[in-house]
Amino acid sequence: MFGHPKGLFILFLTEMWERFSYYGMRAILVLFLVSNERGGLGWSKEDALSLYGWYTMLVYLMSIPGGILADKYLGQKKSVMLGGFMLCIGHLLMAYTELWAFYTALTLIILGVGCLKPNISTMVGGLYKEGDIKRDAGFVIFYMGINLGAFFSSLIVGYVGENIGWHYGFSLAGIGMLIGQLTFLYGQKYLTEVGNLIKKDDNKETQKETLTKIEKDRLFVLGISFIAVLIFWMSFEQAGGFMNIYTMEYTNRTILGWEVPASWFQSLNPLFIITLGGFVSSVLVKMALKGI
């Protein structure tokens, strides 16, 4: 399909709907916590941002045990399926008003993202043979799915949450995740060769006990990259927390007498990525063809 494995588009749609649910919920989470209207909890800004900080930190942190679970016990495909199942329950629980449902939902979403997010991205790479120049373009297509989900969720879930009811917005995020999970289940026939558990005896590479100099150099570069990525995401995640409150309280959002929902500002980042992603992808392919 367009020169790429059909499995890429199954993963594309699965991740698009998963990100629809995640970023839709994220767009209104802090606003819901501080609101006294439409079923909001009415927390102080300090308490809301504290919970948001713990929540996002644990979402990222759970990628480590989620990756270990896939590598050693389940394989990436089953881990994605397990994560999607927990996410469906978690996001749908957000539709309930009871506080126990809210905390249970956050816990399930944290665990679900930890199982799904790192492993579905790894499956994309597994669709291509080593050295295939289309792999980078495949990741860009996959990344576009992430940002399509993030873009539309901020608009749809954000509008419903802020204008109709927070729990109605959370319900839409849950429905989106359910669609993503059903898509992944349907597309298993296109993913038979990727994401399976690799046993130690099946892969001689996993039996190596020492690293080559090239491998050590790569790990060193990864270590440096981790520092840069850490600083970036610490800054980026302020969008759903502090910047969301700032937008709500201090930004003039009135256009022709209509007030733009504060959560809509969350759609700007994915919009820029969608509009520029194709250009970046074409440059990468041209560079690869020239051996750069």
Banded model confidence at residue 159, pLDDT cuts 50, 70, 90: very high
Domain that holds residue 89: 6-196+221-289
Q: Worst-scoring range by mean pLDDT, 61-65, 172-176, 196-200, 230-234?
A: 196-200
Banded model confidence at residue 1, pLDDT cuts 50, 70, 90: low
pLDDT single digits (tens) 8-30 = 999 999 999 999 999 999 999 99
> What's the pLDDT score for residue 139?
85
Total of domains in the chain: 1
- The answer to whether the CB of 174 falls within 8 A of the CB of 43 is no
Q: Which of 180, 179, 137, 156 minimizes the C-alpha distance to 261?
A: 156
The CATH number given to whatever domain includes residue 177 is: 1.20.1250.20
Is 128 domain-assigned?
A: yes
Give me the mean pLDDT over the 82-102 stretch: 93
Residue 71's alpha-carbon distances to 66, 119, 206, in angstroms, are 9, 9, 11
> What's the pLDDT score for residue 166?
92
Look at residue 44 and tell me whether its pLDDT is greater than 80. Answer: yes
% of the chain surpassing 70 pLDDT: 96
Average pLDDT, the chain: 90
> What's the pLDDT score for residue 131?
77
Is 203 domain-assigned?
A: no
Is 209 domain-assigned?
A: no
Orientation angle between helical segments 99-126 and 6-34, nearest 10 degrees = 150
Number of neighbouring beta carbons within 10 Å of residue 60: 18
> What's the pLDDT score for residue 33?
94
> What's the pLDDT score for residue 201?
63
Is 10 domain-assigned?
A: yes
User: Which residues is 255 bridged to in the sheet?
Assistant: 258
Give me the mean pLDDT over the 108-124 stretch: 93
Banded model confidence at residue 171, pLDDT cuts 50, 70, 90: very high
Residue 81's alpha-carbon distances to 40, 72, 96, 147, in angstroms, are 32, 16, 24, 21
pLDDT single digits (tens) 246-287 = 999 999 999 999 999 999 999 999 998 888 877 887 888 788
Look at residue 37 and tell me whether its pLDDT is greater than 70. Answer: yes
Is 192 domain-assigned?
A: yes
Look at residue 147 and tell me whether its pLDDT is greater than 60. Answer: yes
> What's the pLDDT score for residue 47?
94
> What's the pLDDT score for residue 182?
96
Is 236 domain-assigned?
A: yes
> What's the pLDDT score for residue 208?
60
Is 163 domain-assigned?
A: yes
pLDDT single digits (tens) 174-231 = 999 999 999 999 999 999 888 888 877 655 555 567 888 999 999 999 999 999 999 9
User: Which residues is 101 bridged to in the sheet?
Assistant: none
Is 205 domain-assigned?
A: no
Look at residue 2 and tell me whether its pLDDT is greater than 70. Answer: no
